[in-house]
Structure 1
Amino acid sequence: MPPRRGRGTLPRPRLEQLIEQIAHATLTVLKAPPGFGKSTLASAWAQAALARGARVAWLTLDETDATPERLLLHVAAAVQRGFKDDLEQDLIKDLLLLPGDQLGILLLNELERSSQSSFLFIDDYHSVPPQVLISAFDQIIRYAPDNLHLVFCGRSDLPPTLYAHLYSDACLEIDVGQLRFDLDETRDLLLRSGLEAVDAGEVLDLHNATEGWIAALRASLLSLRQRPAGSMRLPKSISGLLDELLERLPIELAGQLPRLATVERFNATLAQALTGHPNGHALIEDIERLQLFLTGIDDAGEWFSFHPLFREHLCRRLQADELNTSLRCAAQWFAAEQLWTDAVRCALAAGDNDSAQKWITHCAIMLVERADFIILLDWQRQLQDHLLQSPPQLKLALAWASGLAMTRSNSRQLLDEVKAEWTELQRFHEQDDLYWECQALHAMLLALDDQVEIAGRLAEQCLPHLKDHPWICNTLQCVVGYGHLGACRWEAFYSVPPTICAPLERSRYLANQVYRLTLMGLAEILQGRFSQAAAILEEALRCSSREGREQNQAPVLRAIPASFLANVRYLQGRLDEAARLSLENIEIAKLGGFLDCAASVFVTASGLSSNRGSLQGARSFLEDGERLAQTRQWPRMQAQLLLERTRISLLEHKHHEALACAQQLEALQVGHPPQTSDSLDEYQCLASLAGLWCEAAGLSRQADLAMAEHLGRLAMHHNHRLMQIRLASSRALVCWQRQQTNSALKSLLEACSLVEATGARQLLADLPASEHLQKLAAYALQQDISQSEKAQLRQLLPGAVSANQLASQLRTTISLTSKERNVLKLVAEGKSNKEMAKLLGITPETIKSHMKNIFGKLNVDSRAQAAVAAKASGFI
């Protein structure tokens, strides 16, 4: 979002009117050191562009945007947010779901479809390495349509490569020379600040001293308010101005400010501890009254920070020993308040590694409980050598953090070290809490390895021994529940006790609560209760947002339930919501999501891409997912992605690849036999679906229809409604292909009944060889079935209604000409008018004429309806 303009911001018509030139330029670069008002001016331009009826998107970069893919993903999100009311949503969704290397070009293609003027502001581009900027924006700038205007704001030169393909009149550059306040603007600023008594000579002195630097002018105003009577010449640098400002303050206050500046944030109590002031609230009120660059940073108005330029200047006034003394004092205060992140940060800045280690040891498991495990692992990297001899409890906490962060090998290494150390001390036995905590961690790692049955049994063994450790018990209950969920033991799953929350410490168990709610949501998804699943997952999102905001929770707590909610919305056909949730959370879910979460992310992203016509985008997501599955050694995720790749290959008519995927699924099934004869084995189901799809698409492969029927009965017995729908609808396709019409009709009606009950209509839409499903539905409507079943078919497969009606109409109409048949055949293959014209050796205008005649003869309104009608009636 663009930064808000303060109420006291001085209008600058001289620069704001440059919006006229920006609107005729492809690239505008606004570059200057900090304190020259770049972002303020850019936000004024953005407001002016909106007032002109243009579309505006804004993106502020930071150091985390370190790859072209991440940067372009955020550009896509900014465009979605900024253009959502003006750009058709089905156009922008393609952009949001493609892999990074294709985002730039597709962005241009989508923007070019509209003649509306579009502005994209990129602020703080200096935060990103030049090569990343080049990789991300080179194509966008080079091929930008006339209606796209890019505005880059930063402190350094934009890489020259980005200018290379533009004419000089397509570029506009605004630098320090233009950003400086001129004399009139300086005078206006003084008048608006209430300094009417300043004469013309003093205005000129002020202007010359600050050289129009806005930050320096602001400091000068503070100095002028405190000056003694009489004129004086001001120093020429911002440091000099700030020094003079500090010199005019009361000596005691001027000495207190640098000590406050050693911390990134402070409240009244900490201010009192750092400065020795008798009343911290009064001190902060004095600083606010004197307008000494103080900023409130929380909604409650308790925490404050200095402007970075002022804070940096204040810190430079301290000697090294003074700086370290203040940092150590702050570290002790933060530690006493159990604000461990701040305490450790201050200790590390002061070089006090011993205290840092002590506090990390003290708070490590608490940080894990609060899902701040990424911070804990960052400390581990900073103090790697210092932590080599850390106590077992700290190593165990680091092992928990590594496991939750999906670095399971590091977690096991630390766990083995703890076991070895305590075995050597003869303390590693079943009577010790640490023994059972190690077993609990081992159970969690087994669950993350997808060995859920073994993990669940081990977790149940550990629970009676860890009653005094609520967080570990909660984690073990999630492991137990995950095991029951994987085996579809629903009664056992719902019998798992609720999350334990100790009094007044709810936030420490927030991660437990979010994971538990997510598993409950996943259980509802598998059983086809989508409305209940969505409600549970939305509650998990509310928990992570409401409590996690105050506790600085890891973003994975939001990404995990959001990923499953994206899948629910996708299966319901609510693609807009699915795309938004997928875009916002895919990167975090890839990093910290467990197997089902990661698999759901990639399958949903692939489905969204394929539904937007970008099969290559779908492939890119699947390749990314397969790499992750191999890295984490998750064969079940690999199997889920192989089934999706089978579907994409069939849609692309890459039959050999589809057969290869089906063979790989069979190999995985052989390597992972079912636990019992009556268990619903996912590997078997996925391999069966791939075989059914290949035969339905006309490939030379015979599916095991009897096995598919057996698995369908097992899915019904285990109440796995999603798998039951997929198996029933896929059996219907194969039975129709084999001309077993009664069996095909029975399976189709079973699938449609389940889809209506669950709302998973996208499962039918995503079937490969879906044209056979439309034909089967058209046939079903002519049979003796109930009116409610016919209504289901008309609602779920509207194309079948058109095919049925049109087939009867077309038998009595004039035949299509041979050229019209050829055009229809190419339409059915998805060819564009230009492609058809080239293939048939005629002009695009002639194609349009043929299409008009075809629409009239077939009495249809769209190319899709024409293709369905022609196939149903035997024209093609």
Structure 2
Amino acid sequence: MSMKTSALITHQLISTARQGNDVPLLLSTKLTLPRRGRGILPRPRLESLALDIAERRLTILKAPPGFGKTTLATIWADSLAADGHAIAWLSLDDEDNSPQRLLYYIAAALNQAEASVGRACLGLRAELSFFSTETLASLTINELSHLERPLTLFLDDFHRISDSVLVEGLRFFLQRAPDSFHVVFTGRRDLPAALRDHLYADDLLELDSSQLRFTLEETRDLLKKAGTDLEQTGELLAVQAASEGWIAALRALLLTPRSSAGSSLKHLAPRSICNLFDDMLQGLSVSHRQDVYRLGMLNKFNVGLLSRLLGSATGSQLLELLQQHQLFISSLDSQHTWFSLHPLFREHLKRICVSNHPGEAQDIQLVAANWFAEQELWLDAIGLGLEGGDADQVRAWIAQCAMELIEQGDFAAVAMLETCWKVRAEECPLPLKMARAWAMGLMLEADGAQALLSEIEAQLWRQGTSHSNQSLYCEVQALRALLLGLADQNELSGALAEACYRASPPRVWVRNVLLNLMSCSHYHASRWDAFYILPPTTLGSGRQPGLIYHDCYRQSLHALAESAQGRLGDAVGCLENLLERLAGTFCTELDRPNPALTALPVVLLAQMHYLMGNRQAAESRLAESMGFINTGGFLDCTAAAYCTSARLSWQQGNSQRARRTLEHLDGLATERGWNRLRARVLMERTRINLLDHKCREAMACTHGLNELLSKETSHDNTEIQVFAVLCELWLALHRIEETPMLIERASQLLDILARRQLQLMRAEVSLVLGLLLCTKGRDQDGRPLLDDALDMIKQSGAISLLQDLPLAPSCADAIRQFYPAWWQQAGKYLRGGGAADTCTGMSECTALLELTVKERQVMRLVAEGKSNKQIARDLNVTPETIKSHMKSIFAKLKVDSRAQAAVMLQNA
């Protein structure tokens, strides 16, 4: 619209206002889209919903302040305008709280969008107050019916208008408006039911804070865009947990000093956020406000708990009030029975409650603790009981539930339980002492666990033999086998586990531990027949997180075995199926196992995505679980997490961060006595030093690796040999140093790897050895190795073996000269460039262009490593719809797995 037209409309509106005192003075700023701030992060999953708005009669965007409602609405408005919609905007305020004034302003907004609409209502001038709302609405509806293009009206801050005024002013208008007319409401509370009762389900699109909150990936992107790149991925998880994706809280983090960016947001909330909380609370009555303050003492609640604390009627009313006013409340389960408040809001309420009524705050904690104990929700009961100061009751609860909590794999509870155990350890009964030993072992506190086991064995010896004592003694040996396995002494661990397994039938949880240890031993020794015929994990009939933990461990080992043998697609499928099964079994945040349980398969999936060249999915998976992998992660998972993270950092140009990640990993390896992991770190350091042209440092790391190999006394050191030979071959390729008999030792190692069917390691050694032989002019010996390596890489999909080569320029030139055909094939993968296979690339692009818009949206989210359920939530559709899209995508792209589709998307 031209400036002249805008001025004319404004003049008309002002003239109309002067005809009578009942006509409102229209503000043109209320009728224009607010200007978006700088630094807005693109959010495709929400912005793409503009397409759905065009197909729905009514869209509701409801959330507390600071969730980006208005920003998203303006983005939708721009997108719809680009698609040919007429856009009308009205920012409401408290003065608009009358039906006639509301309709008059809507007519003005519509008139600004389309000059032929709203004129009749605006033309009534001073007589406006004499007409009914139905008459005013009818005038505008008649004008809307003559429009030749769709029109979308955005009503921002509808919560400023009372429900009665909204219903009186808009009910008839919304019911009778033509199909080409769409309305988007944005506000902080529910829209009155009377305004949407007439709609079919597919005519309504409703979004709340659960969809508006930033996902982990969006939080990471926002911090990166603002220049706040958190040092460790665990810090990102801490920020996400504290903010729960609330945009206002994340913006507050960006205003804090860089040195404190990784700390918990609950200590960083600026005064402005506290003022916002206070302003929202002032809208409640005094009694309701006091009740909300009490909720700050609870991490979660339901109607039953509120009824115990406040009385049955008050509890229900308070819950309804919180939901109606969108007071930072979130549902924790699909049945909407359990709820929690935003961490920052809860902390603010708790601080006020403790400060004003300390005695009452303690009573609330103890009453709630006893209620949770009655429900056998032990972790909640113990936490509140400890905070409330009832140590004796907490001790009784711990004795009752300790092993149950340990078997559930809730490692977050272990530290809290350990605090209580140390109070009067001499009174600790044997079962509780055994639970404590398991906890310390699973937390990788081997020395403490061994000391406790010695105490238990001595006590068993003094008590003599009995059936219960024999069972406990078998459990002691099982835990010793676990400690050996966690210390990376896999052969000894497997032998002891097998002996325990055959000696007597242990309970299910211990039997699964032994099966996992035997499986791990067979995997490291490449005893594939024995590995595949072991009995499966016993899961039982119920949803028991402890047994799920064993399945996570077992399936992680299975994926490692498939990957080592060059079947990366099968490995990824195994892990994705496991995670899909977990998502279906534990469908809500409330009953989901501790994230430490699922961190094992997730970080392995990240490593495999990285190996297949899908770095975006690898980074997303790491962000989910990096903060939990130190809690109970075994060596291979820890190596996968940190080494993949270091390689991603280097790929993103952050060499220093990659080095610090490896330094941290080296510290963990040294602390836990993991020499195999220390060898892996030295290999990764050698590679980074060569890429950064630090030859002396690379040579020092290689010498340190060889020294570590010479002192290694374990039964099988094949993996460390591979690391050492690779480093020596890299040095030789860079013409820094070539050790005697290197080619012969590498050839012998290839024979060992072939016999053990370790295809990925064999491919990597064959690749570097073949390159070295070609650079020495022995291309007759090198070419078969390069051909074998490329075939294995193509079959496995592990293209990062080529991309991550620390390749010297002289080596690349030599290969181009001596083996141009191989270079042509490998060039599309090599980081250093080369002739790309443009025909393949063009065919991939053509196939991707055949996808529909929705299928491309699904593909982008697949490439980020998201499950069908996560994608369905992001796109506001059902999981069955996503399954249908995936089936169509596989057919069009001619692929068999999500990983292949994601790699095709990245390559194209």
Deviation track 1:333-392 (CA, whole Å, cap 9, x = no partner) reads 433432111222343344332221222122111112211122132232256314553222
Deviation track 1:737-789 (CA, whole Å, cap 9, x = no partner) reads 32212111121111111111111111122222354554454346568xxxxx7
Query: What letter corresponds to residue 645 of structure 2 in structure 1?
Result: A
How many Å separate the matches in 1 of 2:349 and 2:837?
Answer: 75
- Of residues 284, 302, 317, the one that matches 1:218 is 284
Deviation track 1:631-666 (CA, whole Å, cap 9, x = no partner) reads 111110000111111111122222222221111111
The answer as to whether partners of 1:353 and 1:386 remain within 8 angstroms in 2 is: no
The answer as to whether partners of 2:823 and 2:834 remain within 8 angstroms in 1 is: no
The answer to whether structure 1 residue 449 and structure 2 residue 464 are counterparts is: no
Query: What letter corresponds to residue 626 of structure 1 in structure 2?
Result: D
The answer as to whether partners of 1:328 and 1:350 remain within 8 angstroms in 2 is: yes
Question: Which residues in structure 2 correspond to 1:517-532 (within 5 Å)?
Answer: 517-532=555-570
* CA deviation after TM superposition for structure 1 residue 474, in Å: 0.6
The answer as to whether partners of 2:766 and 2:788 remain within 8 angstroms in 1 is: yes
How many Å separate the matches in 1 of 2:36 and 2:829?
Answer: 53
Higher mean C-alpha deviation, range 299-308 or range 748-757: 299-308
Query: What letter corresponds to residue 249 of structure 2 in structure 1?
Result: D
The answer to whether structure 1 residue 639 and structure 2 residue 643 are counterparts is: no
The answer to whether structure 1 residue 486 and structure 2 residue 524 are counterparts is: yes
Question: Which residues in structure 2 correspond to 1:340-359 (within 5 Å)?
Answer: 340-359=378-397
The residue aligned with 2:141 is none
* CA deviation after TM superposition for structure 1 residue 415, in Å: 2.5
How many Å separate the matches in 1 of 2:231 and 2:350?
Answer: 42
The answer as to whether partners of 1:732 and 1:748 remain within 8 angstroms in 2 is: yes
- Of residues 402, 423, 429, the one that matches 1:385 is 423
How many Å separate the matches in 2 of 1:553 and 1:804?
Answer: 45
Change (3 A) 1:101 1:701: farther
* CA deviation after TM superposition for structure 1 residue 797, in Å: 5.5
Q: Which runs of 5+ in 2 are unaligned?
A: 1-26, 41-61, 80-213, 237-244, 839-908
Query: What letter corresponds to residue 242 of structure 1 in structure 2?
Result: S
Question: Which residues in structure 2 correspond to 1:749-760 (within 5 Å)?
Answer: 749-760=787-798
The residue aligned with 1:440 is 478
The residue aligned with 2:196 is none
How many Å separate the matches in 1 of 2:748 and 2:524?
Answer: 19
The residue aligned with 1:649 is 689
How many Å separate the matches in 1 of 2:317 and 2:229?
Answer: 49
How many Å separate the matches in 2 of 1:319 and 1:623?
Answer: 46
Please give the secondary structure, in 2, of the residue aligned with 1:592: coil
The residue aligned with 2:65 is 40
Query: What letter corresponds to residue 619 of structure 1 in structure 2?
Result: R
Deviation track 1:207-229 (CA, whole Å, cap 9, x = no partner) reads xxxxx94422332xxxxxxxxxx
How many Å separate the matches in 2 of 1:744 and 1:636?
Answer: 29
The residue aligned with 1:373 is 411
The answer as to whether partners of 2:489 and 2:714 remain within 8 angstroms in 1 is: no
The residue aligned with 2:736 is 699
How many Å separate the matches in 1 of 2:488 and 2:397?
Answer: 34
Higher mean C-alpha deviation, range 498-507 or range 532-541: 498-507
The residue aligned with 1:163 is none
How many Å separate the matches in 2 of 1:723 and 1:305?
Answer: 48
The residue aligned with 2:287 is 242
The answer to whether structure 1 residue 303 and structure 2 residue 343 are counterparts is: no
Change (3 A) 1:75 1:507: closer
The answer to whether structure 1 residue 747 and structure 2 residue 772 are counterparts is: no
> What root-mean-square deviation, in Å, do the aligned CA atoms of Structure 1 and Structure 2 show?
4.7
Question: Which residues in structure 2 correspond to 1:48-447 (within 5 Å)?
Answer: 50=75, 77-78=217-218, 80-81=220-221, 123=249, 133-136=257-260, 156=270, 213-219=279-285, 241-242=286-287, 264-270=299-305, 284-287=315-318, 297-304=332-339, 320=359, 330-382=368-420, 384-387=422-425, 389-426=427-464, 432-447=470-485
The answer as to whether partners of 2:67 and 2:248 remain within 8 angstroms in 1 is: no
Q: Which runs of 5+ in 1 are unaligned?
A: 1-11, 26-36, 55-73, 104-118, 139-150, 158-172, 181-211, 220-240, 247-253, 784-788, 806-876
* CA deviation after TM superposition for structure 1 residue 541, in Å: 2.7
Question: Which residues in structure 2 correspond to 1:819-858 (within 5 Å)?
Answer: none
Query: What letter corresponds to residue 652 of structure 1 in structure 2?
Result: D
How many Å separate the matches in 2 of 1:488 and 1:592?
Answer: 24
The answer to whether structure 1 residue 687 and structure 2 residue 724 are counterparts is: yes
* CA deviation after TM superposition for structure 1 residue 478, in Å: 0.7
The answer as to whether partners of 2:606 and 2:644 remain within 8 angstroms in 1 is: yes
The residue aligned with 1:204 is none
Query: What letter corresponds to residue 412 of structure 1 in structure 2?
Result: Q
How many Å separate the matches in 2 of 1:600 and 1:639?
Answer: 14
Please give the secondary structure, in 1, of the residue aligned with 2:723: helix
Deviation track 1:282-325 (CA, whole Å, cap 9, x = no partner) reads 775455567798955533122356885888888999895x8777
* CA deviation after TM superposition for structure 1 residue 724, in Å: 0.2
Query: What letter corresponds to residue 644 of structure 1 in structure 2?
Result: E
The residue aligned with 1:842 is none
How many Å separate the matches in 2 of 1:613 and 1:324?
Answer: 51
Query: What letter corresponds to residue 545 of structure 2 in structure 1?
Result: S
Query: What letter corresponds to residue 303 of structure 1 in structure 2?
Result: W
Change (3 A) 1:153 1:519: closer
How many Å separate the matches in 2 of 1:690 and 1:259?
Answer: 61
The residue aligned with 1:567 is 607
Identity %: 27
Please give the secondary structure, in 1, of the residue aligned with 2:283: helix
The residue aligned with 1:624 is 664
The answer as to whether partners of 2:235 and 2:627 remain within 8 angstroms in 1 is: no
The answer as to whether partners of 1:778 and 1:804 remain within 8 angstroms in 2 is: no
The residue aligned with 2:646 is 606
Deviation track 1:245-282 (CA, whole Å, cap 9, x = no partner) reads 88xxxxxxx9xx9999975544455566667x7xx5x7
The answer to whether structure 1 residue 594 and structure 2 residue 628 are counterparts is: no
The normalised TM-score by structure 1 is: 0.63
How many Å separate the matches in 2 of 1:417 and 1:338?
Answer: 30
- Of residues 723, 731, 736, the one that matches 2:761 is 723
Change (3 A) 1:14 1:406: farther
